[in-house]
Amino acid sequence: MKTYYCHNILKCLFVSFVIVTIAGCASGNRASFDSGLESSEPVAKKLTITVQENAHSNTLRSMIRKYERTHPDVKVEIVRLPSDRYEELLHMLMTSGEGPDLFHASTRWMATYLYKNWLLDLSDWVELDLLAEYPRWAVDYTRTNSRFYALPSELTTLRLVYNKELFRHAGLNPEAPPETLSDLRDYAIRISQAGQGYRIYGFALPAGENETLHQALEAGSTRSGHYYYRYEDGVYDFSVYLPWFETILEMKQEGGVFPGETSLSMDTALTQFAEGYIGMMYMTNRDFFALTQSMEDYSSLGVALPPVYSDAVKDNGALMLTLQAPLVVHNHTEYRTEAVDLWKTLHTEAFQDQLFREDLSIPVRRMSVMNAETDRALSSFQPIGQESPYPQEPKFILENRSVDNFANLSDSLRMGAYRDILLGITAPEEALNSLSGQYNRSLENAIYRGLINMEHYIYPEFDPLQPIHEIK
Protein backbone atom coordinates (compact mmCIF):
# COMPACT_ATOMS: atom_id res chain seq x y z
CA MET A 1 0.00 0.00 0.00
CA LYS A 2 1.12 3.53 -0.68
CA THR A 3 1.67 6.30 1.81
CA TYR A 4 -0.78 9.11 1.14
CA TYR A 5 -0.06 12.80 1.05
CA CYS A 6 -2.60 15.51 0.40
CA HIS A 7 -1.45 16.28 -3.14
CA ASN A 8 -1.60 12.58 -4.07
CA ILE A 9 -5.22 12.31 -2.94
CA LEU A 10 -6.16 15.46 -4.78
CA LYS A 11 -4.47 14.19 -7.91
CA CYS A 12 -6.22 10.82 -7.95
CA LEU A 13 -9.59 12.32 -7.08
CA PHE A 14 -9.47 15.00 -9.74
CA VAL A 15 -8.13 12.66 -12.40
CA SER A 16 -10.73 9.99 -11.67
CA PHE A 17 -13.79 12.06 -10.95
CA VAL A 18 -12.96 15.67 -11.93
CA ILE A 19 -15.51 17.31 -9.64
CA VAL A 20 -14.37 16.76 -6.09
CA THR A 21 -13.91 19.47 -3.52
CA ILE A 22 -11.20 18.74 -1.00
CA ALA A 23 -9.28 21.70 0.34
CA GLY A 24 -5.84 20.26 0.69
CA CYS A 25 -4.36 22.95 2.86
CA ALA A 26 -7.28 24.91 4.29
CA SER A 27 -9.39 23.81 7.23
CA GLY A 28 -12.88 22.42 6.70
CA ASN A 29 -13.69 19.87 4.04
CA ARG A 30 -10.30 18.28 3.72
CA ALA A 31 -8.35 15.10 4.32
CA SER A 32 -5.88 15.20 7.18
CA PHE A 33 -3.06 12.90 8.11
CA ASP A 34 -1.18 11.86 11.20
CA SER A 35 1.03 9.01 12.24
CA GLY A 36 1.33 7.06 15.43
CA LEU A 37 5.12 7.22 15.40
CA GLU A 38 6.73 10.56 16.09
CA SER A 39 10.15 9.35 14.96
CA SER A 40 11.28 10.07 11.41
CA GLU A 41 13.41 6.94 11.29
CA PRO A 42 12.74 4.84 8.18
CA VAL A 43 10.65 1.70 8.62
CA ALA A 44 10.31 -1.31 6.37
CA LYS A 45 6.52 -1.51 6.27
CA LYS A 46 3.81 1.15 6.15
CA LEU A 47 0.11 0.69 6.83
CA THR A 48 -2.57 3.28 6.22
CA ILE A 49 -5.91 3.39 8.02
CA THR A 50 -8.70 5.67 6.84
CA VAL A 51 -11.19 6.99 9.40
CA GLN A 52 -13.74 9.75 9.74
CA GLU A 53 -12.21 13.02 10.87
CA ASN A 54 -13.94 12.90 14.28
CA ALA A 55 -13.26 9.24 15.01
CA HIS A 56 -11.80 8.73 18.51
CA SER A 57 -8.63 10.70 17.73
CA ASN A 58 -6.86 10.41 21.07
CA THR A 59 -7.73 6.81 21.84
CA LEU A 60 -7.05 5.65 18.29
CA ARG A 61 -3.66 7.33 18.18
CA SER A 62 -2.74 5.91 21.59
CA MET A 63 -3.68 2.36 20.60
CA ILE A 64 -1.76 2.63 17.32
CA ARG A 65 1.34 3.71 19.22
CA LYS A 66 1.03 0.61 21.38
CA TYR A 67 0.71 -1.48 18.23
CA GLU A 68 3.81 0.12 16.72
CA ARG A 69 5.83 -0.59 19.86
CA THR A 70 5.09 -4.31 19.42
CA HIS A 71 5.67 -4.06 15.65
CA PRO A 72 8.83 -1.91 15.41
CA ASP A 73 9.16 -2.49 11.67
CA VAL A 74 5.68 -1.07 10.96
CA LYS A 75 4.54 2.54 10.76
CA VAL A 76 0.81 3.34 10.69
CA GLU A 77 -0.52 6.48 9.05
CA ILE A 78 -4.02 7.72 9.84
CA VAL A 79 -5.93 9.40 7.01
CA ARG A 80 -8.97 11.36 8.20
CA LEU A 81 -11.74 12.15 5.74
CA PRO A 82 -14.67 14.56 6.28
CA SER A 83 -17.39 12.64 8.10
CA ASP A 84 -20.29 13.68 5.91
CA ARG A 85 -18.47 12.73 2.70
CA TYR A 86 -16.53 9.78 4.04
CA GLU A 87 -18.21 7.11 1.88
CA GLU A 88 -17.87 9.16 -1.31
CA LEU A 89 -14.19 9.96 -0.80
CA LEU A 90 -13.35 6.44 0.34
CA HIS A 91 -14.99 5.02 -2.77
CA MET A 92 -12.90 7.36 -4.92
CA LEU A 93 -9.70 6.26 -3.22
CA MET A 94 -10.58 2.59 -3.64
CA THR A 95 -11.52 2.84 -7.32
CA SER A 96 -8.40 4.89 -8.05
CA GLY A 97 -6.15 2.14 -6.71
CA GLU A 98 -5.05 4.33 -3.80
CA GLY A 99 -7.14 2.50 -1.20
CA PRO A 100 -5.88 2.22 2.40
CA ASP A 101 -4.80 -0.99 4.09
CA LEU A 102 -7.60 -0.69 6.68
CA PHE A 103 -10.77 1.36 6.52
CA HIS A 104 -14.24 1.64 8.00
CA ALA A 105 -16.81 0.18 5.62
CA SER A 106 -20.45 1.09 6.07
CA THR A 107 -22.60 -2.00 6.59
CA ARG A 108 -25.02 -0.44 4.10
CA TRP A 109 -22.39 -0.84 1.36
CA MET A 110 -20.77 -4.10 2.47
CA ALA A 111 -22.25 -6.12 -0.38
CA THR A 112 -20.90 -3.63 -2.93
CA TYR A 113 -17.41 -3.79 -1.41
CA LEU A 114 -17.54 -7.59 -1.51
CA TYR A 115 -18.65 -7.52 -5.14
CA LYS A 116 -15.62 -5.36 -5.97
CA ASN A 117 -13.32 -7.76 -4.08
CA TRP A 118 -12.10 -5.00 -1.75
CA LEU A 119 -12.47 -6.90 1.54
CA LEU A 120 -10.13 -9.46 3.04
CA ASP A 121 -11.86 -12.62 4.26
CA LEU A 122 -11.04 -12.72 7.97
CA SER A 123 -12.42 -16.20 8.62
CA ASP A 124 -9.00 -17.86 8.72
CA TRP A 125 -7.27 -14.98 10.49
CA VAL A 126 -9.39 -14.29 13.56
CA GLU A 127 -9.49 -16.66 16.52
CA LEU A 128 -12.78 -18.12 17.72
CA ASP A 129 -12.08 -16.78 21.21
CA LEU A 130 -12.39 -13.21 19.93
CA LEU A 131 -15.60 -13.95 18.04
CA ALA A 132 -17.11 -15.56 21.14
CA GLU A 133 -16.93 -12.20 22.90
CA TYR A 134 -19.44 -10.71 20.43
CA PRO A 135 -23.17 -11.45 20.03
CA ARG A 136 -24.00 -14.03 17.38
CA TRP A 137 -25.87 -11.49 15.25
CA ALA A 138 -22.74 -9.28 15.11
CA VAL A 139 -20.57 -12.15 13.90
CA ASP A 140 -23.18 -13.11 11.31
CA TYR A 141 -23.94 -9.56 10.15
CA THR A 142 -21.34 -9.50 7.37
CA ARG A 143 -21.07 -13.26 6.91
CA THR A 144 -21.42 -14.44 3.31
CA ASN A 145 -21.21 -18.11 2.34
CA SER A 146 -19.85 -18.95 5.80
CA ARG A 147 -17.06 -16.37 5.45
CA PHE A 148 -16.91 -13.14 7.40
CA TYR A 149 -15.25 -9.84 6.57
CA ALA A 150 -16.02 -7.42 9.40
CA LEU A 151 -17.20 -7.32 12.96
CA PRO A 152 -19.59 -4.52 13.95
CA SER A 153 -18.11 -3.17 17.15
CA GLU A 154 -19.93 0.06 17.94
CA LEU A 155 -23.57 1.14 18.22
CA THR A 156 -25.24 4.54 18.07
CA THR A 157 -28.40 5.22 20.07
CA LEU A 158 -30.89 8.03 19.47
CA ARG A 159 -32.80 10.17 21.96
CA LEU A 160 -34.78 13.39 22.14
CA VAL A 161 -32.87 15.82 24.38
CA TYR A 162 -34.66 18.83 25.82
CA ASN A 163 -34.03 21.86 28.02
CA LYS A 164 -36.08 21.60 31.21
CA GLU A 165 -35.71 25.31 31.97
CA LEU A 166 -37.23 26.27 28.61
CA PHE A 167 -40.03 23.79 29.28
CA ARG A 168 -40.80 25.51 32.58
CA HIS A 169 -40.64 28.95 30.99
CA ALA A 170 -43.21 27.81 28.40
CA GLY A 171 -45.52 26.34 31.08
CA LEU A 172 -44.65 22.75 30.17
CA ASN A 173 -43.98 19.93 32.61
CA PRO A 174 -40.21 19.25 32.44
CA GLU A 175 -40.79 15.66 33.51
CA ALA A 176 -43.29 15.01 30.70
CA PRO A 177 -41.44 15.16 27.34
CA PRO A 178 -43.41 14.90 24.07
CA GLU A 179 -44.57 11.37 23.30
CA THR A 180 -46.05 11.90 19.82
CA LEU A 181 -45.30 14.07 16.81
CA SER A 182 -48.29 16.26 17.60
CA ASP A 183 -46.87 16.77 21.11
CA LEU A 184 -43.50 17.66 19.58
CA ARG A 185 -45.15 20.24 17.33
CA ASP A 186 -47.19 21.80 20.15
CA TYR A 187 -44.27 21.91 22.58
CA ALA A 188 -41.95 23.45 19.99
CA ILE A 189 -44.41 26.20 19.12
CA ARG A 190 -45.07 27.00 22.78
CA ILE A 191 -41.36 27.23 23.59
CA SER A 192 -40.75 29.52 20.62
CA GLN A 193 -43.68 31.74 21.56
CA ALA A 194 -42.49 31.95 25.18
CA GLY A 195 -38.99 32.86 24.00
CA GLN A 196 -40.07 35.38 21.39
CA GLY A 197 -37.65 38.29 21.34
CA TYR A 198 -34.84 36.20 22.84
CA ARG A 199 -34.02 34.16 19.69
CA ILE A 200 -35.25 31.00 21.44
CA TYR A 201 -36.73 28.23 19.31
CA GLY A 202 -38.57 25.13 20.39
CA PHE A 203 -36.88 22.62 18.09
CA ALA A 204 -33.77 22.32 15.93
CA LEU A 205 -33.18 19.93 13.04
CA PRO A 206 -29.54 19.91 11.83
CA ALA A 207 -30.51 18.70 8.36
CA GLY A 208 -27.36 20.06 6.78
CA GLU A 209 -25.66 16.72 7.48
CA ASN A 210 -26.81 13.43 6.01
CA GLU A 211 -26.23 11.40 9.15
CA THR A 212 -28.14 13.73 11.46
CA LEU A 213 -31.07 13.81 9.03
CA HIS A 214 -30.99 10.02 8.77
CA GLN A 215 -31.08 9.71 12.55
CA ALA A 216 -33.92 12.17 13.15
CA LEU A 217 -36.14 10.93 10.33
CA GLU A 218 -35.28 7.37 9.38
CA ALA A 219 -33.93 5.93 12.62
CA GLY A 220 -36.39 7.86 14.79
CA SER A 221 -39.38 6.64 12.78
CA THR A 222 -38.65 2.96 13.38
CA ARG A 223 -40.15 3.19 16.86
CA SER A 224 -43.48 3.75 15.11
CA GLY A 225 -42.86 0.75 12.87
CA HIS A 226 -41.95 2.92 9.85
CA TYR A 227 -38.92 2.45 7.63
CA TYR A 228 -38.52 3.19 3.93
CA TYR A 229 -37.49 -0.40 3.08
CA ARG A 230 -39.99 -3.21 3.68
CA TYR A 231 -37.96 -6.21 4.73
CA GLU A 232 -40.90 -8.58 4.39
CA ASP A 233 -41.22 -8.14 0.60
CA GLY A 234 -38.19 -6.09 -0.53
CA VAL A 235 -40.08 -2.98 -1.62
CA TYR A 236 -39.23 0.69 -1.00
CA ASP A 237 -42.00 2.92 0.31
CA PHE A 238 -41.00 6.43 1.38
CA SER A 239 -44.61 7.55 1.80
CA VAL A 240 -44.46 6.29 5.40
CA TYR A 241 -42.59 9.51 6.24
CA LEU A 242 -45.38 11.84 5.12
CA PRO A 243 -46.73 12.52 8.66
CA TRP A 244 -43.22 13.37 9.87
CA PHE A 245 -42.63 15.95 7.14
CA GLU A 246 -46.08 17.41 7.55
CA THR A 247 -45.40 17.90 11.27
CA ILE A 248 -42.01 19.56 10.72
CA LEU A 249 -43.44 21.87 8.04
CA GLU A 250 -46.26 22.90 10.37
CA MET A 251 -43.70 23.63 13.07
CA LYS A 252 -41.69 25.74 10.65
CA GLN A 253 -44.75 27.70 9.58
CA GLU A 254 -45.55 28.54 13.22
CA GLY A 255 -41.97 29.53 14.04
CA GLY A 256 -41.20 26.45 16.12
CA VAL A 257 -38.03 25.41 14.24
CA PHE A 258 -34.58 26.99 14.46
CA PRO A 259 -34.06 28.75 11.09
CA GLY A 260 -31.87 27.44 8.29
CA GLU A 261 -32.32 23.77 9.11
CA THR A 262 -31.22 22.48 5.69
CA SER A 263 -27.77 24.02 6.12
CA LEU A 264 -27.54 23.68 9.90
CA SER A 265 -24.68 21.49 11.16
CA MET A 266 -24.82 19.44 14.32
CA ASP A 267 -21.89 21.35 15.83
CA THR A 268 -23.66 24.68 15.39
CA ALA A 269 -26.92 23.29 16.71
CA LEU A 270 -25.19 21.86 19.80
CA THR A 271 -23.58 25.24 20.49
CA GLN A 272 -26.95 26.98 20.29
CA PHE A 273 -28.51 24.30 22.48
CA ALA A 274 -25.78 24.64 25.11
CA GLU A 275 -26.34 28.40 25.20
CA GLY A 276 -30.04 27.93 25.89
CA TYR A 277 -31.50 28.96 22.54
CA ILE A 278 -33.01 25.60 21.56
CA GLY A 279 -35.65 23.62 23.44
CA MET A 280 -35.47 20.16 21.84
CA MET A 281 -33.24 18.19 19.49
CA TYR A 282 -32.67 14.63 18.35
CA MET A 283 -29.19 13.52 19.45
CA THR A 284 -27.10 10.38 19.32
CA ASN A 285 -24.98 9.28 22.26
CA ARG A 286 -21.95 10.91 20.63
CA ASP A 287 -23.80 14.18 20.09
CA PHE A 288 -24.95 14.21 23.69
CA PHE A 289 -21.48 13.54 25.01
CA ALA A 290 -20.13 16.44 22.92
CA LEU A 291 -22.89 18.65 24.33
CA THR A 292 -22.10 17.78 27.94
CA GLN A 293 -18.42 18.51 27.37
CA SER A 294 -19.32 22.11 26.51
CA MET A 295 -21.51 22.62 29.60
CA GLU A 296 -20.36 22.99 33.20
CA ASP A 297 -23.79 22.03 34.51
CA TYR A 298 -26.13 19.90 32.47
CA SER A 299 -28.65 19.05 35.17
CA SER A 300 -31.23 21.01 33.20
CA LEU A 301 -31.11 18.49 30.35
CA GLY A 302 -33.86 15.94 29.91
CA VAL A 303 -33.52 12.78 27.82
CA ALA A 304 -36.39 10.79 26.32
CA LEU A 305 -37.07 8.28 23.57
CA PRO A 306 -37.95 9.85 20.20
CA PRO A 307 -41.67 10.65 19.86
CA VAL A 308 -43.85 8.17 17.97
CA TYR A 309 -46.06 9.24 15.07
CA SER A 310 -49.22 8.80 17.15
CA ASP A 311 -50.54 6.82 20.11
CA ALA A 312 -51.97 4.30 17.64
CA VAL A 313 -48.50 3.20 16.50
CA LYS A 314 -46.66 3.56 19.80
CA ASP A 315 -43.90 0.96 20.04
CA ASN A 316 -44.93 -0.72 16.79
CA GLY A 317 -41.26 -1.28 16.10
CA ALA A 318 -37.89 -1.44 17.82
CA LEU A 319 -36.02 1.85 17.78
CA MET A 320 -33.14 1.46 15.33
CA LEU A 321 -29.65 1.13 16.76
CA THR A 322 -27.27 2.33 14.07
CA LEU A 323 -24.17 0.24 13.54
CA GLN A 324 -21.07 2.36 13.09
CA ALA A 325 -19.06 1.35 10.03
CA PRO A 326 -16.90 -1.64 11.08
CA LEU A 327 -13.19 -1.79 10.41
CA VAL A 328 -12.11 -3.98 7.48
CA VAL A 329 -8.84 -4.98 5.85
CA HIS A 330 -8.17 -4.25 2.19
CA ASN A 331 -8.02 -7.53 0.27
CA HIS A 332 -5.01 -6.28 -1.69
CA THR A 333 -2.93 -4.97 1.20
CA GLU A 334 0.75 -5.74 0.81
CA TYR A 335 1.11 -6.61 4.49
CA ARG A 336 -1.78 -8.86 5.40
CA THR A 337 -0.35 -10.25 8.65
CA GLU A 338 0.49 -6.80 10.01
CA ALA A 339 -2.85 -5.34 8.88
CA VAL A 340 -4.83 -8.13 10.52
CA ASP A 341 -2.79 -7.73 13.72
CA LEU A 342 -3.76 -4.05 13.79
CA TRP A 343 -7.40 -5.02 13.15
CA LYS A 344 -7.26 -7.35 16.16
CA THR A 345 -5.67 -4.65 18.32
CA LEU A 346 -8.56 -2.31 17.56
CA HIS A 347 -11.08 -4.96 18.61
CA THR A 348 -9.62 -5.67 22.04
CA GLU A 349 -11.63 -5.12 25.19
CA ALA A 350 -9.15 -2.48 26.35
CA PHE A 351 -9.69 -0.39 23.21
CA GLN A 352 -13.47 -0.77 23.21
CA ASP A 353 -13.72 0.16 26.88
CA GLN A 354 -11.54 3.22 26.38
CA LEU A 355 -13.74 4.37 23.49
CA PHE A 356 -16.72 4.36 25.81
CA ARG A 357 -14.86 6.35 28.43
CA GLU A 358 -13.61 8.86 25.84
CA ASP A 359 -16.87 9.76 24.11
CA LEU A 360 -19.63 7.43 25.27
CA SER A 361 -19.24 5.00 22.40
CA ILE A 362 -21.45 1.98 22.94
CA PRO A 363 -19.60 -1.24 22.14
CA VAL A 364 -21.23 -4.30 20.62
CA ARG A 365 -18.77 -6.52 22.45
CA ARG A 366 -20.25 -8.54 25.33
CA MET A 367 -19.18 -6.55 28.34
CA SER A 368 -20.67 -4.16 30.86
CA VAL A 369 -19.68 -0.60 29.98
CA MET A 370 -22.15 1.12 32.28
CA ASN A 371 -21.02 1.28 35.88
CA ALA A 372 -21.49 3.25 39.08
CA GLU A 373 -19.31 6.06 37.73
CA THR A 374 -21.59 6.64 34.76
CA ASP A 375 -23.67 9.79 35.03
CA ARG A 376 -27.40 9.16 35.10
CA ALA A 377 -27.98 11.44 32.10
CA LEU A 378 -25.35 9.58 30.07
CA SER A 379 -26.82 6.23 31.07
CA SER A 380 -30.09 7.34 29.43
CA PHE A 381 -28.43 6.51 26.11
CA GLN A 382 -27.76 2.89 27.06
CA PRO A 383 -29.73 0.59 24.73
CA ILE A 384 -32.90 -0.85 26.22
CA GLY A 385 -35.04 -3.83 25.27
CA GLN A 386 -37.09 -1.75 22.80
CA GLU A 387 -34.05 -1.04 20.61
CA SER A 388 -32.25 -3.16 18.04
CA PRO A 389 -30.02 -3.08 14.96
CA TYR A 390 -31.85 -3.81 11.70
CA PRO A 391 -30.83 -6.24 8.95
CA GLN A 392 -28.93 -5.00 5.94
CA GLU A 393 -30.88 -3.68 2.99
CA PRO A 394 -29.87 -3.83 -0.69
CA LYS A 395 -27.62 -0.99 -1.85
CA PHE A 396 -27.02 0.11 -5.41
CA ILE A 397 -26.31 3.17 -7.50
CA LEU A 398 -29.56 4.87 -8.37
CA GLU A 399 -30.50 5.20 -12.01
CA ASN A 400 -30.47 8.99 -12.26
CA ARG A 401 -28.64 10.80 -15.02
CA SER A 402 -29.12 14.22 -13.47
CA VAL A 403 -26.52 13.64 -10.74
CA ASP A 404 -23.11 12.00 -10.57
CA ASN A 405 -22.60 8.44 -9.40
CA PHE A 406 -20.84 9.16 -6.14
CA ALA A 407 -23.67 11.48 -5.09
CA ASN A 408 -25.99 8.52 -5.45
CA LEU A 409 -23.50 6.15 -3.87
CA SER A 410 -23.64 7.72 -0.40
CA ASP A 411 -27.41 8.25 -0.41
CA SER A 412 -26.98 11.99 -0.96
CA LEU A 413 -29.77 11.92 -3.54
CA ARG A 414 -32.27 10.70 -0.97
CA MET A 415 -31.17 13.27 1.60
CA GLY A 416 -31.31 15.96 -1.07
CA ALA A 417 -34.94 15.06 -1.75
CA TYR A 418 -35.69 15.34 1.97
CA ARG A 419 -34.11 18.81 2.05
CA ASP A 420 -36.15 19.90 -0.95
CA ILE A 421 -39.29 19.03 1.02
CA LEU A 422 -38.10 21.04 4.02
CA LEU A 423 -37.29 24.00 1.76
CA GLY A 424 -40.73 23.86 0.16
CA ILE A 425 -39.26 23.16 -3.27
CA THR A 426 -41.21 19.91 -3.66
CA ALA A 427 -44.50 18.85 -2.08
CA PRO A 428 -43.93 16.06 0.48
CA GLU A 429 -46.24 13.48 -1.09
CA GLU A 430 -44.88 14.09 -4.58
CA ALA A 431 -41.23 13.88 -3.48
CA LEU A 432 -41.71 10.74 -1.38
CA ASN A 433 -43.64 8.92 -4.11
CA SER A 434 -40.96 9.89 -6.61
CA LEU A 435 -38.27 8.45 -4.35
CA SER A 436 -40.21 5.20 -3.99
CA GLY A 437 -40.51 4.83 -7.74
CA GLN A 438 -36.89 5.66 -8.39
CA TYR A 439 -35.56 3.27 -5.77
CA ASN A 440 -37.79 0.39 -6.85
CA ARG A 441 -36.92 0.86 -10.54
CA SER A 442 -33.20 0.99 -9.76
CA LEU A 443 -33.49 -2.09 -7.58
CA GLU A 444 -35.24 -4.00 -10.35
CA ASN A 445 -32.48 -3.00 -12.75
CA ALA A 446 -29.76 -4.11 -10.31
CA ILE A 447 -31.51 -7.47 -9.89
CA TYR A 448 -31.86 -7.87 -13.66
CA ARG A 449 -28.14 -7.18 -14.12
CA GLY A 450 -27.26 -9.78 -11.48
CA LEU A 451 -25.75 -7.24 -9.10
CA ILE A 452 -28.02 -8.09 -6.16
CA ASN A 453 -29.39 -11.37 -4.83
CA MET A 454 -32.65 -10.45 -3.10
CA GLU A 455 -32.67 -13.71 -1.15
CA HIS A 456 -30.22 -11.97 1.20
CA TYR A 457 -32.54 -9.03 1.83
CA ILE A 458 -36.10 -10.39 2.11
CA TYR A 459 -37.48 -11.69 5.40
CA PRO A 460 -41.08 -12.94 4.92
CA GLU A 461 -41.53 -13.33 8.68
CA PHE A 462 -39.90 -10.00 9.53
CA ASP A 463 -40.97 -8.68 12.93
CA PRO A 464 -40.28 -4.94 13.45
CA LEU A 465 -40.26 -5.55 17.20
CA GLN A 466 -37.45 -8.11 16.77
CA PRO A 467 -35.77 -6.99 13.54
CA ILE A 468 -32.45 -8.74 14.10
CA HIS A 469 -34.04 -12.05 15.10
CA GLU A 470 -32.66 -13.71 12.00
CA ILE A 471 -29.64 -12.79 9.88
CA LYS A 472 -29.13 -14.44 6.53
Query: What domains are there in the chain, each with its CATH number?
Result: 6-155+323-383 (3.40.190.10), 158-320+385-472 (3.40.190.10)
**% of the chain with per-residue pLDDT over 70:** 83
Q: pLDDT per residue over 123-153, tens digit each?
A: 989 888 888 888 888 888 888 778 889 999 8
Which contiguous run of DSSP H or E holds residue 157?
none
In sequence order, what DSSP letters do the residues of 295-364 get, joined into one string? -S--TTEEEEPPPBS-GGGTTSSPEEPEEPPPEEEBTT-S-HHHHHHHHHHTTSHHHHHHHHHHH--EE-
50 touches 325 (CB < 8 A): no
Residue 98 or 34, more confident: 98
With 0-12 / 13-18 / 19 or more C-beta atoms within 10 angstroms meaning exposed / middle / buried, residue 150 is: buried
Tally of residues, the chain: 472
Amino acid 335 reads Y
- pTM, to two decimals: 0.84
Task: Return the closest-CA partner of residue 328 out of 92, 84, 121.
Answer: 121
172-217 tens-digit pLDDT? 999 999 999 999 999 999 999 999 889 999 999 999 998 999 999 9
* In contact, 348 and 136? CB cutoff 8 Å: no
Higher pLDDT, 310 or 293: 310
Judged by average pLDDT, the poorest of 125-139, 295-309, 347-361 is 347-361
Of 81-95, 240-254, 416-430, the poorest mean pLDDT is in 81-95
pLDDT of residue 367: 53
Question: What is the spatial distance between Cα 72 and Cα 37, in angstroms, rounded to a whole number?
Answer: 10
DSSP track, 202-232: EEE--TTSHHHHIIIIIIHHGGGT--SEETT
DSSP H or E stretch at residue 91: helix 86-95
On the question of pLDDT at 110 being above 50, the answer is yes
